[in-house]
Amino acid sequence: MRRVSVRPRSGWQKKVESHGLIWHTVNGQPYWNESACYRFSARQIDEIEAATAELYRISMQGVQHVIDNNLFDQLGIPQFIVPLIVRAWNDEPPALNHGRFDLGYDGVTPPKLFEYNCDTPTCLLETAVVQWDWKEEVFPRADQFNSLHDNLLAKWKDIAPCLNSSVVHFTHFDDAAGEDTLTVTYMRDLASQAGLSSVGILIGDIGWNSTTRRFVDLANHPIDVLFHLYPWEWLINEPFALNIAKSADAMCWIEPAWKMVLSNKAILAVLWELFPNHPNLLPCSFETPSFDHVRKPFLGREGANISVVRNRQTVAETGGGYGEERWVYQALFNLPDFDGNRAVLGSWIVDGQPAGMGIREGDLITGNTARFVPHVLD
């Protein structure tokens, strides 16, 4: 695992924009950073791929453990939604079942799980499309750990016949930067290629028909299938929350409700209890440990409300609006330092199949302005 300098392509901004990545720059600094790339050996990619498959395997066991032992209170998940979670887990409704494991990796020792983002994972377009296009132009003979686009398309085709409608609604928040909008739009393109019709609707525009007990779009048509880039933990804490169960028989949510078990960082402590000393896990607990650690809110996003504690001193922390629920304490992993750049791997999985990787660089804490840097295989 090496970081090497690369000459950015002439007009790279236009090139990434042509693939939909319009949020490539923030405050004058590139979010998409192609002035460098990471190079990996085939052995290292094999190790990352194997770790991703293994983490998926134990994550599924973690969900089963939470359900079998009714640990929902420990995770801060309200009881009214538990039947829906259990039903979705047991019935296995059609889903992409995709997600991104954020990993610490130094190229030598086994990758370590920081968290599993599987409810509303982003960095999707830049991983699946933009970095592949960069590789084809800059390193056309090189390879890349990247089959994300192909895997997602195949999964849409796989589930299309199983859906209760050929029309899928896609919802998101109307974010100013366009990241949520275009991530969902990319999914719409994939669904369309799979033969489905797509209808976009902003999350705030979804309606509830109290007569038919159905969620409806702006044309008042019932929503049969809803892809949502909007977290389950938000959905179940908003005024329409109770209507989710009322319409459950007639509606398919992509992704399903059981995903909220894994997107909750309390699962990290549950997994450590289930699989102590697992080579791909970091020690994690619900209580403040004596060792150097990172404190994370159960439901934090984009690196918000994170504290890094070394020698009982907080050496870095971020603000945000999370943490009212509870915290987990995960052992500090010393990310390799490449001239001040600390890289976190985002290793994707689609229904159990490792599907590619994106890399983001930041400081001690990888927040939502961390730079995306492409990679190739030697």
Partner 1 sequence: MARQSRRAKLFVLPLTTAISTAMLSCSSNPREWRTNADIKICVDDLDKRVPDGDCSNPGDQHHRWYYINEGGYVPYPGYPVRSGSYQPNSAGGSYGPSAGGSDVATPESTRAGAITRGGFGESAEGHAAFGGVAGE
Task: Rule CB under 8 A: say whether 151 interacts with partner 1.
Answer: yes
Q: Two tokens at 6? A: 């690369």
Task: Rule CB under 8 A: say whether 355 interacts with partner 1.
Answer: yes
**Window contacting partner 1 (CB under 8 A); options: 1-9, 182-190, 279-287, 336-344:** 182-190
Task: Rule CB under 8 A: say whether 373 interacts with partner 1.
Answer: no
**Window contacting partner 1 (CB under 8 A); options: 89-97, 138-146, 266-274, 325-333:** 138-146
Question: How far, in Å, CA of 257 to CA of 220, rounded?
Answer: 24
Question: How far, in Å, CA of 39 to CA of 3, rounded?
Answer: 6
Task: Rule CB under 8 A: say whether 369 interacts with partner 1.
Answer: yes
Burial label, 246 (beta-carbon count in 10 A; 0-12, 13-18, 19+): middle
Question: How far, in Å, CA of 227 to CA of 104, rounded?
Answer: 30
Question: How far, in Å, CA of 378 to CA of 376, rounded?
Answer: 7
Task: Rule CB under 8 A: say whether 185 interacts with partner 1.
Answer: yes
Compute, in degrees rounded to 10, the torsion defined by CA atoms 266, 66, 348, 235: -70
Choose, by CB under 8 A, the member of 44, 117, 131, 280 that binds partner 1.
117
Q: Are 47 and 111 in contact (CB under 8 A)?
A: yes
Closest approach of Cβ 233 to partner 1, in Å? Answer: 8
Site string for partner 1, 36-75 (x = CB under 8 A): ---------xx--x--------------------------
Amino acid, single-letter form, for residue 350 = V
Q: Two tokens at 12? A: 């790279």
Task: Rule CB under 8 A: say whether 192 interacts with partner 1.
Answer: yes
Choose, by CB under 8 A, the member of 55, 81, 88, 129 that binds partner 1.
129
Say how many CA atoms lie within 13 Å of 357 toward its Cβ: 32
CB count in 10 Å sphere of residue 206: 19
Task: Rule CB under 8 A: say whether 176 interacts with partner 1.
Answer: yes
Closest approach of Cβ 239 to partner 1, in Å? Answer: 4
Choose, by CB under 8 A, the member of 33, 59, 127, 146 that binds partner 1.
146
**Window contacting partner 1 (CB under 8 A); options: 15-23, 82-90, 154-162, 280-288:** 15-23
Interaction with partner 1 in 266-285: which residues (CB under 8 A)? none
Interaction with partner 1 in 276-335: which residues (CB under 8 A)? 301-302, 320-321
DSSP 146: B
